[in-house]
Chain A
Amino acid sequence: MKLHPILAALRKHKAGTVLIALQIALTLAIVCNAIFIIGQRIQRVNRATGLDESNLFFVSQQWVGAPSADTPDGVEKLDAMQREDLAALRNLPGVASVAPINSLPLLNSSWTGSVSLKSGAEIGDKTGTRTAYYFTDEQVFPTLGLKLVAGRAFNAGDVQHQGFRENRDRPVAIITRALADKLYPKGGAVGKVMYSDGSSAPTTIVGVVTRMQIPSSGSFGSDFAWNSTLIPTRLDANFARYAVRTRPGQLDAVMHAVTPLLYKVNPLRVLDDDSVRPFSDIRARAYRADVGMAVLMGVICLILIAVTAAGIVGLTSFWVGQRHRQIGVRRALGARKIDILHYFQIENGLIAGVGAVIGVILALGLNAWLMTHYEMTRMPVLYVLVGVIAVLVLGQAAVFVPARRASNVSPVSATRAA
Chain B
Amino acid sequence: MFFPSPFGEGAQRAGEGTFEAQRCALAEPSPPAPPPMGEGSNIQEDGMFGYYLDLALRSLKRNKSLTALMVLAIALGIGASMTMLTVLHVLSGDPLPGKSALIYYPQIDPQDLKGMQPNKEPPEQVTLIDGLNLLHAGRADHQALMSGGSVPLDPQKTDLDPFYVEARYTTPDFFPMFDAPFLFGHAWTEADGEAKVREVVIARSLNDKLFGGADSVGRIVRMAGVDWRIVGVLDKWRPNPHFYDLNTGSYDYGEQVFLPLQTMLDLRLDRNGSTDCWGNGGGGVGNILPSDDCVWLQFWVQLDTPTKAAAYKEFLVHYSQEQKALGRFQRAPNVRLRNVMQWLDYQMVVPGDVRLQTGLAFGFLLVCLVNTVGLMLAKFMRRAAELGVRRALGASKRALFAQLLIESGVVGLVGGVGGLLLALFGLWLVRQRPSDYAALAHLDLSMLFITFALAVGATLLAGLLPAWRACQVAPALQLKSN
A residues contacting B by CB (< 8 A) are: 12-13, 15-16, 19-20, 22-23, 26-27, 29-30, 34, 37, 62, 64-65, 68-70, 124, 164-165, 237-238, 270, 272, 285, 288-289, 292-293, 296-297, 300, 303-304, 307-308, 310-311, 314-315, 318, 321-325, 370, 374-375, 418
Residue from A23, A65, A418 within 8 A of B374 (CB atoms): A23
Residues in A with CB closer than 8 Å to B353 are 289, 293
11 further A-B contacts with Cβ under 8 Å, apart from A70-B288, A321-B15, are A16-B374, A23-B367, A26-B370, A30-B364, A62-B164, A238-B286, A272-B164, A297-B357, A303-B80, A307-B367, A307-B371
Pairwise interchain contact A308-B374, C-beta atoms closer than 8 A: no
Residue from A30, A270, A303, A314 within 8 A of B378 (CB atoms): A314
B152, CB-defined interface residue at 8 Å: yes
12 A-B residue pairs with Cβ-Cβ distance under 8 Å, sorted by A, are A20-B374, A26-B367, A69-B285, A70-B287, A70-B288, A165-B286, A293-B357, A300-B364, A311-B371, A314-B374, A315-B375, A318-B378
Residues in B with CB closer than 8 Å to A300 are 80, 360-361, 364
Instruction: Tell me if A's interface is mostly helix, strand, loop or mixed.
Output: helix
State the Cβ distance, A298 to closest chain B Cβ, in Å.
Answer: 11
State the Cβ distance, A153 to closest chain B Cβ, in Å.
Answer: 29
Residues in A with CB closer than 8 Å to B351 are 289
Pairwise interchain contact A23-B371, C-beta atoms closer than 8 A: yes
B19, CB-defined interface residue at 8 Å: yes
Interface flags for B275-319 (1: CB within 8 Å of A; 0: not) read 000000010011110000000000000000000000000000000
Pairwise interchain contact A69-B73, C-beta atoms closer than 8 A: no
B368, CB-defined interface residue at 8 Å: yes
Residues in A with CB closer than 8 Å to B95 are none
Pairwise interchain contact A64-B162, C-beta atoms closer than 8 A: yes
Residues in B with CB closer than 8 Å to A15 are 377, 465-466, 469
B467, CB-defined interface residue at 8 Å: no
Closest residue of chain B to A320 (Cβ to Cβ) is B12
Pairwise interchain contact B370-A22, C-beta atoms closer than 8 A: yes
Query: Bound state CA distance, A270 and B13, in angstroms?
Result: 80
Known contacts A34-B360, A307-B368: A64-B152 contact under CB 8 Å: yes
Residues in A with CB closer than 8 Å to B285 are 69, 164-165, 237
B448, CB-defined interface residue at 8 Å: no
Residues in B with CB closer than 8 Å to A12 are 19, 23
Residue from B16, B69, B465 within 8 A of A418 (CB atoms): B16
Counting residue pairs across A and B whose Cβ atoms lie within 8 Å, the total is: 144
Query: Bound state CA distance, A73 and B466, in angstroms?
Result: 85
Query: Bound state CA distance, A307 and B76, in angstroms?
Result: 9
Residue from B164, B286, B374, B379 within 8 A of A164 (CB atoms): B286
Closest residue of chain B to A313 (Cβ to Cβ) is B69
B29, CB-defined interface residue at 8 Å: no
Pairwise interchain contact A19-B377, C-beta atoms closer than 8 A: yes
B217, CB-defined interface residue at 8 Å: no
Bin the interface of chain B by size. Answer: 35 or more
B43, CB-defined interface residue at 8 Å: no
B342, CB-defined interface residue at 8 Å: no
Interface flags for B426-470 (1: CB within 8 Å of A; 0: not) read 000000011100000000000000000000000000000110010
Pairwise interchain contact A303-B364, C-beta atoms closer than 8 A: yes
B17, CB-defined interface residue at 8 Å: yes
B residues contacting A by CB (< 8 A) are: 11-13, 15-19, 23, 66, 69, 73, 76, 80, 115, 152, 154, 162-164, 225, 270, 282, 285-288, 351-353, 355-357, 360-361, 363-364, 366-368, 370-371, 373-375, 377-379, 381-382, 433-435, 465-466, 469, 481-482
Instruction: Tell me if B's interface is mostly helix, strand, loop or mixed.
Output: helix
Pairwise interchain contact B16-A324, C-beta atoms closer than 8 A: yes
Query: Bound state CA distance, A311 and B16, in angstroms?
Result: 21
Residue from A237, A270, A375 within 8 A of B164 (CB atoms): A270
Residues in A with CB closer than 8 Å to B66 are 314
Closest residue of chain A to B150 (Cβ to Cβ) is A62
Pairwise interchain contact B17-A418, C-beta atoms closer than 8 A: yes
Closest residue of chain A to B359 (Cβ to Cβ) is A370
Pairwise interchain contact B270-A238, C-beta atoms closer than 8 A: yes
Query: Bound state CA distance, A318 and B381, in angstroms?
Result: 9
State the Cβ distance, A109 to closest chain B Cβ, in Å.
Answer: 11
Residues in B with CB closer than 8 Å to A375 are 352
Residues in B with CB closer than 8 Å to A69 are 285-287
State the Cβ distance, A359 to closest chain B Cβ, in Å.
Answer: 11
Pairwise interchain contact B371-A374, C-beta atoms closer than 8 A: no
Query: Bound state CA distance, A12 and B23, in angstroms?
Result: 9
Query: Bound state CA distance, A292 and B466, in angstroms?
Result: 39
State the Cβ distance, B385 to closest chain A Cβ, in Å.
Answer: 11
Pairwise interchain contact B225-A30, C-beta atoms closer than 8 A: no
Pairwise interchain contact A30-B360, C-beta atoms closer than 8 A: yes
State the Cβ distance, A263 to closest chain B Cβ, in Å.
Answer: 9
Query: Bound state CA distance, A300 and B287, in angstroms?
Result: 50
Query: Bound state CA distance, A14 and B96, in angstroms?
Result: 53
Residue of A23, A70, A164 with highest tally of chain B CB at under 10 A:
A23
Pairwise interchain contact A70-B367, C-beta atoms closer than 8 A: no
Pairwise interchain contact A314-B69, C-beta atoms closer than 8 A: yes
Query: Bound state CA distance, A68 and B288, in angstroms?
Result: 9
State the Cβ distance, A193 to closest chain B Cβ, in Å.
Answer: 25
Residues in B with CB closer than 8 Å to A27 are 367
Residue from B164, B286, B373 within 8 A of A19 (CB atoms): B373
Pairwise interchain contact B286-A296, C-beta atoms closer than 8 A: no
Query: Bound state CA distance, A26 and B351, in angstroms?
Result: 25
Pairwise interchain contact B374-A321, C-beta atoms closer than 8 A: no
Pairwise interchain contact A26-B366, C-beta atoms closer than 8 A: yes
Residue from B11, B152, B433, B481 within 8 A of A62 (CB atoms): B152
Residue from A19, A296, A323 within 8 A of B357 (CB atoms): A296
Enumerate the 4 nearest inter-chain pairs by beta-carbon distance, A residue then B residue, closest first.
Answer: A318-B378, A19-B374, A311-B371, A321-B12
Residues in A with CB closer than 8 Å to B355 are 374
Pairwise interchain contact B288-A165, C-beta atoms closer than 8 A: yes
Pairwise interchain contact B433-A292, C-beta atoms closer than 8 A: yes
Query: Bound state CA distance, A26 and B163, in angstroms?
Result: 54
Known contacts A270-B152, A292-B435: A418-B481 contact under CB 8 Å: yes
State the Cβ distance, B473 to closest chain A Cβ, in Å.
Answer: 14
Residues in A with CB closer than 8 Å to B379 are 318
State the Cβ distance, A42 to closest chain B Cβ, in Å.
Answer: 15
Residue from A164, A272, A308, A322 within 8 A of B367 (CB atoms): A308
Pairwise interchain contact B152-A321, C-beta atoms closer than 8 A: no
Residue of B69, B154, B355 with highest tally of chain A CB at under 10 A:
B69
Query: Bound state CA distance, A285 and B435, in angstroms?
Result: 9
Pairwise interchain contact A318-B382, C-beta atoms closer than 8 A: yes
Closest residue of chain B to A64 (Cβ to Cβ) is B152
Known contacts A19-B377, A288-B434: A310-B371 contact under CB 8 Å: yes
Residues in B with CB closer than 8 Å to A29 are 363
Query: Bound state CA distance, A74 and B17, in angstroms?
Result: 96
State the Cβ distance, B292 to closest chain A Cβ, in Å.
Answer: 16
Residues in A with CB closer than 8 Å to B375 are 311, 314-315
State the Cβ distance, A33 to closest chain B Cβ, in Å.
Answer: 8
Residues in B with CB closer than 8 Å to A307 are 73, 76, 367-368, 371
Pairwise interchain contact B469-A289, C-beta atoms closer than 8 A: no
